[in-house]
Amino acid sequence: MLANKTIKPEAIAAIDFFTVEVLTWRGLVRYFVLFAIDLKTRRVHIAGIVHEAYGQWIEQAARNLTDPVEGFLRDKRYLTRFWFELPTKRAA
């Protein structure tokens, strides 16, 4: 389907998680960071940081990223994601 089309870099973004481990008074705590990157400009947007990534949080982050006025992904046509198991079925 895309073989006959040229995808312009300004239309592509990627989204993924990374983890950060923080030493607190209660011990080592792991946080999940959801980020998006504009593949043309390499601009990175931190969509959120949470101790436990759950479905409703991911859904709200997706709504914020795709907001038609201020969303980081508002002008993007294609989105690449890198995680294999989604914490929510609705985010697929």
How far apart CA 48 and CA 31 sit, in angstroms, is 10
Higher per-residue confidence, 84 vs 60: 60
Say if strands 78-81 and 44-50 run parallel, antiparallel, or are unpaired: unpaired
Taking only the tens place, the pLDDT of each residue in 38-76 is 988 999 999 999 988 888 888 899 899 999 998 998 888
Strands 12-24 and 78-81: parallel
Q: Domain extents for the chain?
A: 9-81
36 burial via Cβ count (<10 Å: 0-12, 13-18, 19+): buried
Residue appearing with tokens 């995808």: 7
The pTM of the full predicted model, rounded to 2 decimals, is 0.76
Q: How many Å apart are CA 13 and CA 74, to the nearest integer?
A: 10
